[in-house]
Amino acid sequence: MLDAQELERYARHIVLREVGGPGQAKLKAARVLVIGAGGLGAPVLLYLAAAGVGTIGVIDDDTVSLSNLQRQVIFGSGDIGTRKVDGAEVAIARLNPHVNIETHMARLDASNALGLITKYDIVADGSDNFATRYLVSDACYFARKPLVTAAVGTFDGSLTTLRPYETRAGGARNPTYRCLFPEPPPAGTVPACAEAGILGALPGVLGSMMALEVIREIVGFGEGLVGRLLMVDARSMRFETLSYEWDKDNPLSGEQATIRDLSGKY
């Protein structure tokens, strides 16, 4: 049930036919895990908290540095040197006291991924490296949890939603992350953010869209991004969407699957 303050706080949601009181109640009951409290994770955390998601978990083992403040908008100058998960907790509590925040000061790896992900209803991955993205997507497949995942480059970004443990109405399997990206790029071919740079507002755009996709998944309206990759080009301000399908040769859910657990290298 929503109390009087919550009814007023979420009034602009409740008047939406696609959300309404039942949709807002779904948001309040939901448990969402956000991977990373950085450039993508920061706006995800803020907008999920503002939307009234009942429980938000955040995992990050990093501390705030001065160079983060150009894009990681939940932190301020006074947070430099402090734990990002602590800053996220403070920001969420300041924005919406009705939200329960669960912090995990740790690095996600094969030993803790499944145990953590199974505690939540949906995962939003804002990690900044390929190894973690593959780990998260594999873990969500085994845990049967929907995953909203995004990535950003210097002036570009992409976003998709994964439900590879489900089949479509016609019986076709939903694709995995490995259907979209069979292998990570060779080491050294994609420069890190510190080396290549990044336009500060770009993660804000993609992170906000991640939050929107999570909200749509929870409430259940519109056409989601399962089997579709949304691509953003900030140089030309162009948005494009391409479709991708299940690959029978993918090693996770393919006909000759070789990945049976999270014991592989990530």
Taking alpha carbons only, the member of 146, 147, 41, 43 closest to residue 103 is 41
Is 193 a residue of the active site? Answer: yes
Q: Out of 80, 105, 193, 229, which one is annotated catalytic?
A: 193
Cα gap 144→166, rounded to integer Å: 9
Listed in sequence order, the residues at least 6 apart from 74 whose beta carbon sits closer than 8 Å to its beta carbon are 37, 42, 45, 46, 87, 88, 91
Is 232 strand, coil or helix? strand
Residue 152 forms beta bridges with which residues? 157
CB 145 within 8 A of CB 199: no
Tokens at residue 148, please?
Answer: 């909203």
In terms of Cβ atoms closer than 10 Å to its own Cβ (0-12, 13-18, 19+), residue 181 is middle
The DSSP code sequence of 47-65 is HHHHHT-SEEEEE---B--
Reported as half-sphere exposure (CB side, CA atoms, 13 A), residue 20 has a value of 5
CA 167 → CA 36, 152, 176, distances in Å? Answer: 29, 29, 12
Active-site residue set = 193
